[in-house]
Chains A and B, each alone.
Chain A
Amino acid sequence: MEILVCVKRAPDTLENEITVNKDGTNIEQEDLVYSVNEWDNYAVEEAIQIRDKVGGSVTVVTVGDEDAEEVLRREMAMGADNGILISDKAFENSDGKGIASILKAEIEKGKYDLILTGAQADDGAGQIGGMLAAMLDLPYASLVNKIDSEDGKLTIGREIEGGAQEINEIELPCVLSIQTGINEPRYVGIRGIRKVASIEIPVRTASDLGLDTNAVGDAGAKVKKLDYFIPETGDGAEMLTGSQEEIADKLIELLKAKGGMK
């Protein structure tokens, strides 16, 4: 099976507290640690497991600047066979539809049986998979937490409310957005990344893909981010202060009063 996984570079929320920058134009970039979007990592792991079972190849693709290449290398160190970096100044400030049309142009240059995306990203809208599928006229399922492959079709599980799982059959080729928890993504060490350090990663520009630069990037975006701000907190919590001992004593009294202790 030929599998394409769309990934992106995103701030690592485990490593960062996210705040707004001084003029509210972006999140504070200083000391920000980036990694591959968490959901995408599960998608790549799933792709690798399917390939190892039924054969074929896994290609990872991203739309981003030159820094995004490290994300592709990381996923190739996990076991993806190929990487493609789609990069062009004209793509900056694309909205979801813009990103999906850029990816579509690349996908149409190849032949893929299965296209995976992460279900969402911490800085995203959970929209690329569904948009891509519609643009390519392929069937789609979101929030996928199980994939079984058998001749020409897949049986998939979708995570729905209340911890339940919705089972569907879906024809190939198709697009699936992958939910976290579907598998346990393998660990990638420095050595793994070194091994793929010299592999050539092709870079595609707007003209390589035959894209009209008025339809993507800032020019083509109908959905625009105006600013960032810290939400109103309302009353918020009463914050306990003092030494750990003092805070613990206060909390014990509160828990006693509220029925939190047997």
Chain B
Amino acid sequence: MNRQLFAYITHQNGVANDSAFELAAAAKKISADTSVTAIVTGKGEGLTKVCEQASSAFAKVWKIEDDAFAYPNAELIRALILKILPEKSVILLAHDTFGMDLGPGLSIKLNASFISDVVNIEGTDGDALKTVRQEYSGQVSTHISCDIADGAVINIRPGAFKPEEASIGGKIEDKSSEAAGIAAKRKYVKTIEAEVGDVDITKSEVLVSIGRGIEDEDNIEIAQELADAIGADVSCSRPIVDAKWLEKSRQVGTSGQTVKPKVYIALGISGSFQHLGGIKGSPFMVAVNKNANAPIFQVADIGITDDLLDFVPVLTEKIEKL
């Protein structure tokens, strides 16, 4: 079978994202004996460094340097990939905010199949690729069969595949001339960094974190009282910020803050991968959730199946009496 495999590598400040090496691992699960080509775009010294890093895990690295790619605008990158990708190729992207922007439209333009947010690859049977996805924030999983005969764009969930130590020493090929004439109707202007709030949860050693299970803005007090009793700060998951009950600076997750506390108490948080992606350093994790199937119980150390609104006041009262 002559299927060509590619991976688009994202990077920051001259360092390839972890997802780059995870894509290499995922590609192996599609075809262990096919060499994979990394596509790296950017500008300047950082790009050169990233290409060298990528060459440890990929047999070939296509380096494309151009002013237009100083910031990765998915609309420009799509036009570039369309130009350089051989017909019927399979290309892997990380399912981050860039890959979500690029993947679906790219698949249409390539006339290829698209699978998003893949957490496992079970292998191929002819042109049928069998993968695993999750639905409902990980409460259920599904097997997906995808026809890749005409190529595919496969978005891989960050953190789902374990990268291998590798020193392939892949060949770096400069394809910068391909960047000529690439244009898009969307223009990157600037990035506004996250605001720092009144409490810097990235420095907190103990976090009492609330999710949808808090149900009402007035109930935040219940979490605050527990936090006060144990000397913790209050953080939250995304729905609490969407509801404007707490500041964005209190949000834990890939689209919020990355925290590294010693102890993390998750109250009424289901445990989506986006939320868990913001918790580093393996804290001791306690989860309280009334849904016994909540995915948070898969990763927590201690689980309590109860309504936080009933349980937490009991806990706080006991602690206050100590």
A230 touches B141 (CB 8 A): yes
Closest to B136 in A: A18
Chain A, range 132-161, C-beta contacts under 8 Å to B: 133-135, 138-143, 155, 157-161
A96 and B114 contacting across the interface, CB-CB below 8 Å: yes
A236 in contact with B298 (CB, 8 Å): yes
Question: A227 vs B234: C-alpha distance in the bound complex, in angstroms?
Answer: 39
Contact flags B235-262 to A (C-beta < 8 A → 1, else 0): 0001101111000110100111110001
Interface residues of A in 179-231 (CB under 8 A from B): 180-181, 184, 222-231
CA distance A158 to B96 in the complex (A): 12
Q: How many residues of A contact B (CB 8 A)?
A: 81
Bound Cα distance A248, B314 (Å)? 7
Indicate which residue in A125, A130, A174, A225 contacts B185 across the interface (CB closer than 8 Å): A174
Chain B residue numbers with a CB within 8 Å of A237 are: 285, 287, 297-303
> What string of 1s and 0s marks CB contacts (under 8 Å) between B121-139 and chain A?
0000000001001111111
Interface-located stretch among A1-9, A48-56, A162-170: A162-170
| Chain A proximity of B129: nearest CB distance (Å) | 10
A14 and B100 contacting across the interface, CB-CB below 8 Å: no
Q: Is the CB of A224 within 8 A of B297?
A: no
Contact A225:B314 (CB < 8 A) given known A158-B97, A237-B300: no
Chain B's closest residue to A249 (CB) is: B318
Q: Is the CB of B116 within 8 A of A248?
A: no
A134 and B109 within 8 A (CB): yes
Given contacts A126-B100, A128-B104, A142-B100, contact A168 B188 (CB under 8 A): yes
- Tell me whether B32 is interfacial, beta carbon within 8 Å: no
User: How many Å lie between the Cα of A239 and that of B151 in the bound state?
Assistant: 45
- Can you list, as one digit per residue, whether each of B302-316 has a CB less than 8 Å from chain A (1) or not (0)? 111110001100110
Report whether A140 and B186 are in contact in the complex, using a CB–CB cutoff of 8 Å: yes
* Residue B212, interface by CB 8 Å: yes
User: Is A169's CB under 8 angstroms from B186's CB?
Assistant: yes
Binds A, one of B23-31, B41-49, B191-199: B191-199
Q: Are B311 and A248 touching (Cβ within 8 A)?
A: yes
Contact A226 B105 (CB under 8 A): no
Bound: A196/B298 CA distance, A = 44
Q: Determine how close the nearest CB of chain B comes to the CB of A47; give it in whole angstroms.
A: 18
A interface residues with partner B (beta carbon < 8 Å): 11, 13-14, 17-20, 27, 96-97, 100, 119, 122-123, 125-131, 133-135, 138-143, 155, 157-171, 174, 180-181, 184, 222-231, 233-234, 236-240, 244-245, 247-249, 251-252, 254-255, 258-262
Closest 10 interchain pairs by CB?
Answer: A262-B231, A130-B104, A163-B194, A237-B303, A260-B263, A134-B105, A134-B108, A139-B185, A181-B242, A125-B116
Give B contacts to A, CB under 8 Å: 73-75, 78, 96-98, 100-109, 113-117, 130, 133-147, 150, 184-195, 205-206, 212, 230-232, 238-239, 241-244, 248-249, 251, 254-258, 262-263, 265, 284-287, 291, 293, 295, 297-306, 310-311, 314-315, 318-319, 322
Given contacts A125-B114, A163-B255, A169-B187, 12 further A-B contacts (CB under 8 A): A17-B139, A18-B140, A130-B102, A134-B78, A142-B74, A157-B192, A168-B189, A231-B298, A233-B298, A236-B300, A248-B314, A255-B286
